[in-house]
Chain A
């Protein structure tokens, strides 16, 4: 296990990450928290759109797509599948 935080948009499809930090502020931050992206939430990278962006993530049972701009503001720690 490594403890390096990387932005969510750099995580490969199929990988799992644990949310460690949100660097966004204001309304975007509120929106992300409302989606359940609090510390230690596990996010799975599901797939990238055929047009290259956005990417879909599994967050607390829901599938949510972020553009790379939004995903780059979410820092995660890479974890291994159970």
Chain B
């Protein structure tokens, strides 16, 4: 993938389809991490997840709302700090405001660092007059004793300014009113304009020419500045959106070129940016009062602890440990309860089948196949997921994840990768598809591809329960007292291992198919935010439960259906299932698995959650044990089918390192727009898994062999 296809991909996803031509289009712009998506959600009622780390929305989202007699189409633009850096997101935002000509643009700003946010607001005000400033997170500012004089800000800027707490819905009506007034032209606006001393002369000469060529459809002053700033992308955009080629005009070209000969590009850039930033600074000093000069003391103290040289990394592991401990401990009881409940239901359904005199094969397919797999997935997978996800969301909302990237960046630098990859791996703990999408926050295409290809090494939510179940069965079940601690340590070990594998593979990729040096690195550490604990827990618990249940119905039930059929169609002297497993057996044995396990991974391609249920189904159909009500019974079943701790270890390792699930691969295809990189993302973890499992299995076998020949 090269840069241009990546840009195309991003731009394609941002193509906006407005439902009705009568709708008034409103653009929503703002710095990353200002709660812009929350404002969008509260206005439109759509539900996009917002986390406390910069760069969540990269593609645009579209929603509608009605206020008074008008319907508004709200377009959520990518969060950017500026419109001058020429990143893909900035071009998308700039082109939308400039060429789609929304009837109003709302700039969402963060009350805590208003001055910095004014940078973007002032730039947008240069393109369009129809701007409304939304100063969000007023509650956070109040907590930090930061006072903002909204009225004065509005007077200085000459446009409406509304203070909001979007999370609590405060100020949204006023915001809607202001948007309405600006959009309908009810309000007289007289926006503040920046001045650029050394450039004003040139601007005065060029602006009328541009206005004439573009027929006044686009702000000529702004275009003149972009030309002076050697921003070629604006010429391209003008060409493609308006079919206007400014550079054809001789006088314009002459004036611009002469100015550029006088001042070098860096000097022009410095004049432009300095003027914007100094204006923001002077406006900020007029309207913002810090009653408490030490307003960010709490953030600093927290950072001193959470990113401390000595304790930073141990605390990170401990936090993860606590999350997993709560997950494992908390999942125990509900899991058992669901088991009992769902298998009680199975018996009732069976009773019904007998009573109704339905054929046995139908009972087999529907109950023993589809229902039982579904019951398994729900009882084993749902509780850990429904606990882990909300806890993790809490850490995300608090603002902890960027600190993880900060703590670990040097390791990524040594792997020639980007520190933000750590953020994408955090997301992958929830879901690899989400992790792959999160890779958009990495600007450089090379590092972004590395993050995408290696994302699957981080075990997702659908794989934890497998890892936890196998750990419980084979490692900690003999230890009564320390069971949960051993479980947590195993999971932490697994994740550490996955990080190490990710780093090694990233480095190998950087030295082979994705050669290159690390690109520039900047990472913002946003202020910590007090999360709305109750709301997050409930919301994310419900979301997760719904997600798992849907997947169980869509994926697990059909898979169970298929496996039951495979195990009951007899070809020759064996079932189809047995034939397939036997076919896979030699390869599987090499890497410490057996044919059934490898087959389960292959059949589990649609979703990792169903791997263990398929293994169980396969063994059960061989008639070892007919009932299965608990983990203990599962242990007996696995041991009866020849499992040793080595089998369990290799299964865990293979679970950690194998091809991404169907959803993730589709996401990779979408994100990279390339079959080649999708295939590579499939092969890299799979080959790694085969290598690691092969080495593990063979070494243990050799050691066992040596030990037995020496001592017997």
B304 lies within 8 A of A61 (CB): no
A54 lies within 8 A of B82 (CB): no
A27 lies within 8 A of B86 (CB): yes
Stretch at the interface among B213-221, B307-315, B592-600, B674-682: B307-315
Residue in A51, A60, A61 whose CB lies within 8 Å of B408? A51
Known: A38-B270, A39-B274, A62-B113. A30 touches B85 (CB 8 A): yes
Set of chain A residues within 8 Å of B281, measured between Cβ atoms = 60
Known: A34-B82, A64-B525. A53 touches B266 (CB 8 A): no
Per-residue interface assignment for chain B, residues 262 to 284, with 1 indicating a CB less than 8 Å from any chain A CB and 0 otherwise: 00001001100110011001000
Does A81 reach chain B (CB closer than 8 Å)? Answer: no
Q: Which of B251-299 contact A (CB under 8 A)?
A: 266, 269-270, 273-274, 277-278, 281, 299
Shortest A52–chain B CB gap in Å is 5
C-alpha gap A68/B129 in the complex (Å) = 41
C-alpha gap A36/B113 in the complex (Å) = 12
17 contacts between A and B (CB under 8 A): A29-B269, A31-B85, A34-B81, A36-B116, A38-B274, A41-B277, A50-B308, A51-B408, A54-B523, A56-B525, A61-B113, A64-B522, A64-B523, A64-B525, A65-B406, A65-B522, A70-B521
C-alpha gap A16/B635 in the complex (Å) = 62
Set of chain B residues within 8 Å of A38, measured between Cβ atoms = 270, 273-274, 277-278
Set of chain B residues within 8 Å of A28, measured between Cβ atoms = 520
Which partner residue on chain A sits nearest B272 by CB separation?
A33
Per-residue interface assignment for chain A, residues 45 to 69, with 1 indicating a CB less than 8 Å from any chain B CB and 0 otherwise: 0111111111010001111111101
Does B115 reach chain A (CB closer than 8 Å)? Answer: yes
C-alpha gap A20/B2 in the complex (Å) = 36
14 additional contacts (CB under 8 A) given A34-B119, A36-B119, A66-B521: A32-B522, A34-B82, A41-B277, A47-B304, A49-B409, A50-B312, A51-B409, A51-B410, A53-B410, A53-B413, A56-B406, A61-B116, A63-B303, A63-B527
Shortest B568–chain A CB gap in Å is 55
Which partner residue on chain B sits nearest A31 by CB separation?
B85
C-alpha gap A38/B307 in the complex (Å) = 28
Set of chain B residues within 8 Å of A2, measured between Cβ atoms = none
Does B411 reach chain A (CB closer than 8 Å)? Answer: yes
Please list the residues of chain A having a beta carbon within 8 angstroms of any beta carbon in chain B. 25, 27-36, 38-39, 41, 46-54, 56, 60-67, 69-70
Set of chain A residues within 8 Å of B524, measured between Cβ atoms = 62-65
Does B632 reach chain A (CB closer than 8 Å)? Answer: no
Set of chain B residues within 8 Å of A35, measured between Cβ atoms = 81, 522
B407 lies within 8 A of A54 (CB): no
Set of chain B residues within 8 Å of A48, measured between Cβ atoms = 309
Please list the residues of chain B having a beta carbon within 8 angstroms of any beta carbon in chain A. 81-82, 84-86, 112-113, 115-116, 119, 266, 269-270, 273-274, 277-278, 281, 299-300, 303-304, 307-310, 312-313, 406-411, 413, 419, 518, 520-527
C-alpha gap A7/B310 in the complex (Å) = 26
Which partner residue on chain B sits nearest A39 by CB separation?
B274
Shortest A42–chain B CB gap in Å is 11
Most A CB contacts (10 A, CB to CB) among B84, B113, B410 go to: B410
A29 lies within 8 A of B303 (CB): no
C-alpha gap A60/B281 in the complex (Å) = 9
A50 lies within 8 A of B521 (CB): no
C-alpha gap A63/B518 in the complex (Å) = 22
Which partner residue on chain A sits nearest B407 by CB separation?
A50
Shortest A37–chain B CB gap in Å is 9
Which partner residue on chain A sits nearest B517 by CB separation?
A69
Give 8 closest A-B pairs by Cβ, nearest first. A51-B410, A50-B312, A34-B82, A33-B273, A63-B525, A61-B113, A65-B523, A38-B274
Shortest A63–chain B CB gap in Å is 4
Residue in B115, B273, B410, B518 whose CB lies within 8 Å of A52? B410
C-alpha gap A63/B274 in the complex (Å) = 20
A46 lies within 8 A of B113 (CB): no
Shortest A71–chain B CB gap in Å is 10
Residue in B270, B307, B523, B525 whose CB lies within 8 Å of A50? B307
A29 lies within 8 A of B81 (CB): no
C-alpha gap A30/B409 in the complex (Å) = 23
Which partner residue on chain A sits nearest B112 by CB separation?
A61
C-alpha gap A41/B116 in the complex (Å) = 13
Set of chain A residues within 8 Å of B521, measured between Cβ atoms = 54, 65-67, 69-70
Set of chain A residues within 8 Å of B274, measured between Cβ atoms = 38-39
Set of chain A residues within 8 Å of B304, measured between Cβ atoms = 47
Set of chain B residues within 8 Å of A36, measured between Cβ atoms = 116, 119, 277
Which partner residue on chain B sits nearest A66 by CB separation?
B522
C-alpha gap A70/B270 in the complex (Å) = 18
Set of chain A residues within 8 Å of B112, measured between Cβ atoms = 61
Set of chain A residues within 8 Å of B409, measured between Cβ atoms = 49, 51, 53-54, 65, 67
Known: A27-B85, A49-B406. A69 touches B522 (CB 8 A): no
C-alpha gap A7/B426 in the complex (Å) = 33
Set of chain A residues within 8 Å of B269, measured between Cβ atoms = 29-30, 33
Residue in B81, B266, B410, B419 whose CB lies within 8 Å of A25? B266
A70 lies within 8 A of B522 (CB): yes
Known: A28-B520, A65-B525, A69-B520. A50 touches B309 (CB 8 A): yes
Known: A35-B522, A62-B524, A70-B521. A49 touches B113 (CB 8 A): no
Which partner residue on chain B sits nearest A73 by CB separation?
B520
Set of chain B residues within 8 Å of A34, measured between Cβ atoms = 81-82, 84-85, 119, 273
Known: A47-B303, A47-B307, A65-B525. A31 touches B520 (CB 8 A): yes
C-alpha gap A41/B527 in the complex (Å) = 21
Set of chain A residues within 8 Å of B309, measured between Cβ atoms = 48, 50
Set of chain A residues within 8 Å of B522, measured between Cβ atoms = 31-32, 35, 64-66, 70
C-alpha gap A48/B86 in the complex (Å) = 29
C-alpha gap A47/B312 in the complex (Å) = 12
C-alpha gap A36/B520 in the complex (Å) = 17
Set of chain B residues within 8 Å of A54, measured between Cβ atoms = 406, 409-410, 419, 521, 523
B84 lies within 8 A of A30 (CB): yes
Set of chain B residues within 8 Å of A50, measured between Cβ atoms = 307-310, 312-313, 407
C-alpha gap A49/B119 in the complex (Å) = 28
Which partner residue on chain A sits nearest B313 by CB separation?
A50
C-alpha gap A53/B523 in the complex (Å) = 12
Set of chain B residues within 8 Å of A63, measured between Cβ atoms = 299, 303, 524-527
Set of chain B residues within 8 Å of A60, measured between Cβ atoms = 113, 115-116, 277, 281
C-alpha gap A80/B441 in the complex (Å) = 36
Set of chain B residues within 8 Å of A61, measured between Cβ atoms = 112-113, 115-116
C-alpha gap A25/B270 in the complex (Å) = 12
Set of chain A residues within 8 Å of B273, measured between Cβ atoms = 33-34, 38
Most B CB contacts (10 A, CB to CB) among A39, A53, A62, A70 go to: A62
B407 lies within 8 A of A49 (CB): yes
B270 lies within 8 A of A33 (CB): yes
Which partner residue on chain B sits nearest A13 by CB separation?
B309
Set of chain B residues within 8 Å of A31, measured between Cβ atoms = 85, 520, 522
Known: A27-B85, A35-B522, A39-B274. A49 touches B116 (CB 8 A): no
